[in-house]
A and B are shown apart, each in its own frame.
Chain A
Amino acid sequence: MHLIKALLAQINPYTGDIKRNIKKHLDFIEKARKEGASLVIFPELSLTGYFLKDSIYDLGVNINKEGPGIFGPLYEASKNVSIIAGFVERDDNFNFYNSSFCLSRGKVLHVHRKVYLPTYGMFEELRYFKPGSGFNVFDLSEGRSARARASILTCEDAWHLSSSYICVNKGANIIIINSASPARGIASILDKFSSINMWEELLSVIAFYYKSYVIYANRVGFEDGVGFSGGSCVFTPHGEMDSCAGYLNESSLKIEINLDLLNSERFKTPLIRDENLHLTFREIQDIIGSKK
């Protein structure tokens, strides 16, 4: 059996307080270590909080220039447990990104800069952040097994089905979605907010049709009256929710990713194998051409 044991850390970050958030991260990392997990996944912007507005200016960290810097304790902790966490990244040209890194063995293994920055309704990310330039796949098992190939999508990224399409066709079989999704929408027939329901339907679709594991880490807590819904969970390549951390409150969830399941699911329903990339490419070229 090829198992990956991970811990979903459904936390309520302190808005704008990186140091206190690092402390909170270390507590959950320690919990993960004690429970035998090799990976701990935190939500979007877990090290800073979400509705940051002008304080983004004060919270950006240039990890390429400054090295571990303020995140030193996390780099250190990643020698035992790999860590996926969200932060405000600053580059050499003074741009800011809504970024997530995967730290492993004391180093940065992967960075995802959020591509789709919602700027409508209550969201204003594009006002502050520069979009990332793409989606990539990284080896979560670092050579121990070639089969754990993961991509990170951050919240809105996942709402564009083209994002997960790109990831799986690049070879991902584990889609990790970190988010800061506010609870909203009352529905008479649901026992949850309609936003939660929408998310769970989306995660199921991505998992089933892209025959991948989907891991969702969403935050909880309030920022200026807006409450985040939690509901961190994992969906199997069969499109079913395997387990869920519950809604609204801070908690953690131990999950097991059984990579052997990918084998049977992708054999039974070989959608990824049969995907016609050339056709898609031609069609997209035509679409872009006709829009000029």
Chain B
Amino acid sequence: MKKELPQINEKNFPLISTHLTNFIREEVLRTGLKRVVLGLSGGIDSAVSCYLAEKALGKSNVTALLMPHRLSSPQSLKDAKNIVRLLGIGHHVIDITDGVDWYFTGEIKKGASEMDIKLRTGNKMARERMSILYDYSFKLKALVLGTSNKSELLLGYGTIFGDMASALNPIGDIYKTQIYQIARLLGVPENIIKKAPTADLWAGQSDESELGFSYELADSIMYLLIDKMYKPEVLESLGYDIKIVNKIYGMIKKSQYKRRTPLIAKVSERTINVDFRYLRDWE
């Protein structure tokens, strides 16, 4: 039985690339706008989104915001600046240290634990960046382009209303393993592709050590569970460690709330998104 996650390679990339750039162009232009703004971290996901946006809209219609915090790796800023230079797109560097840290000085005094502060600071950083992106969205008349891949969206490895927030996301149905493949085909610099995946919310943070499994393994499991709709016991019979399969399935279920709009208590005859049903592209 064939069970591998399909590859994005030289054969299928031309059509996938056209599809993704058409998506960006069409979904942006139909709103009456022509620009996008995105947070460029120096990592591979935002790099891929950025390359696709430049292909779709041209360099004059893409603006990158580089938003370092004092805890961010200096290399991240360098890598983001390199992408800006290579693509010739507009950019702004906005340090978010003050915007994030002032809030926690009081919280630390109140005696919050160090680990809690670390996680809460990470979330606040993601939401601070989101808040600035949406301010620039208004300022530049530009839609916020998402940079979350399918793996992190499914695992819930992101901050709700933070890095998970966007107006449109070209890479949200593409697994991390495939992001590497697409990055190479788009010509993203090799050093960005080779870096260990990190949310870069504190020094030395690593996605894979935090998650407890590699993206490669998680992606092949999620591909079978989600795309192929195989039951966990089928994955076990295929040789996957059932403990990891169950852990991943549990994470997907537990984070479902992050992928949905807020619940609304139904009282009327027609409730938004329940039985008041229109496309976002409603005309």
B226 within 8 A of A: no
Knowing A225-B168, A227-B19, A227-B22, the reply to whether A191 touches B279 (Cβ < 8 A) is: no
The residue in chain A whose Cβ has the minimal distance to the Cβ of B2 is: A188
Q: Is the CB of A224 within 8 A of B11?
A: no
Q: Is the CB of A188 within 8 A of B23?
A: no
Interface string of A180-213 (1 = CB under 8 A from B): 0001001111111100000000000000000000
Q: Is the CB of A221 within 8 A of B26?
A: yes
A interface: dominant SS? loop
A-B contact pairs, 15 of them (CB 8 A): A12-B26, A15-B279, A16-B282, A17-B283, A54-B277, A55-B282, A186-B16, A221-B26, A222-B23, A223-B279, A224-B279, A224-B281, A225-B23, A227-B23, A249-B18
CB distance from A146 to the nearest CB of B (A): 42
Q: Is the CB of A248 within 8 A of B15?
A: yes
CB distance from A22 to the nearest CB of B (A): 15
Knowing A187-B6, A249-B22, the reply to whether A224 touches B280 (Cβ < 8 A) is: yes
Q: Would you list which residues of chain A between 206 and 240 have a CB under 8 Å from chain B?
A: 221-225, 227
B99 within 8 A of A: no
B206 within 8 A of A: no
Q: How far is the CA of A16 from the CA of B283 in the complex (A)?
A: 6
Which B residues fall within an 8 A CB radius of A?
Answer: 4, 6-9, 11-12, 14-16, 18-19, 22-23, 26-27, 168, 178, 276-283
A278 within 8 A of B: no
| A-side contacts of B278, CB under 8 Å | 53-55
Given A186-B8, A225-B23, 20 extra CB contacts under 8 A: A12-B26, A15-B283, A54-B276, A54-B277, A54-B278, A55-B278, A186-B7, A187-B6, A190-B12, A191-B15, A192-B15, A193-B15, A221-B26, A222-B281, A223-B281, A224-B279, A224-B280, A227-B22, A249-B18, A249-B22
A interface residue count range (under 10 / 10 to 19 / 20 to 34 / 35 or more): 20 to 34
The residue in chain A whose Cβ has the minimal distance to the Cβ of B283 is: A16
Which of B4, B9, B12, B168 contacts A192 (CB under 8 A)? B12
Q: How far is the CA of A193 from the CA of B14 in the complex (A)?
A: 11
Q: How far is the CA of A176 from the CA of B4 in the complex (A)?
A: 37
CB distance from A122 to the nearest CB of B (A): 12
| B-side contacts of A221, CB under 8 Å | 26
CB distance from A182 to the nearest CB of B (A): 11
Q: Would you list which residues of chain A between 44 and 59 have a CB under 8 Å from chain B?
A: 51-55
The residue in chain B whose Cβ has the minimal distance to the Cβ of A193 is: B15
Which 9 interchain pairs have the tightest Cβ spacing?
A188-B7, A53-B277, A186-B6, A16-B283, A224-B279, A222-B26, A54-B277, A188-B6, A191-B11
Q: How far is the CA of A55 from the CA of B279 in the complex (A)?
A: 9
| B-side contacts of A249, CB under 8 Å | 18, 22
The residue in chain B whose Cβ has the minimal distance to the Cβ of A222 is: B26
Knowing A53-B279, A186-B6, A188-B7, the reply to whether A222 touches B15 (Cβ < 8 A) is: no
CB distance from A188 to the nearest CB of B (A): 4
Q: How far is the CA of A249 from the CA of B277 in the complex (A)?
A: 28
| B-side contacts of A225, CB under 8 Å | 23, 27, 168
CB distance from B182 to the nearest CB of A (A): 10
Q: Is the CB of A190 within 8 A of B11?
A: yes
CB distance from A16 to the nearest CB of B (A): 5
Q: Is the CB of B6 within 8 A of A15?
A: no
A87 within 8 A of B: no
A14 within 8 A of B: yes
CB distance from B143 to the nearest CB of A (A): 13
| B-side contacts of A224, CB under 8 Å | 279-281
| A-side contacts of B16, CB under 8 Å | 186
Q: How far is the CA of A192 from the CA of B279 in the complex (A)?
A: 27
Q: Is the CB of B9 within 8 A of A188?
A: yes
CB distance from B265 to the nearest CB of A (A): 21
A129 within 8 A of B: no
| A-side contacts of B281, CB under 8 Å | 15, 222-224
Which of A14, A186, A187, A222 contacts B283 (CB under 8 A)? A14
Q: How far is the CA of A225 from the CA of B281 in the complex (A)?
A: 9
CB distance from A253 to the nearest CB of B (A): 18
| B-side contacts of A190, CB under 8 Å | 11-12
A97 within 8 A of B: no
CB distance from B258 to the nearest CB of A (A): 18
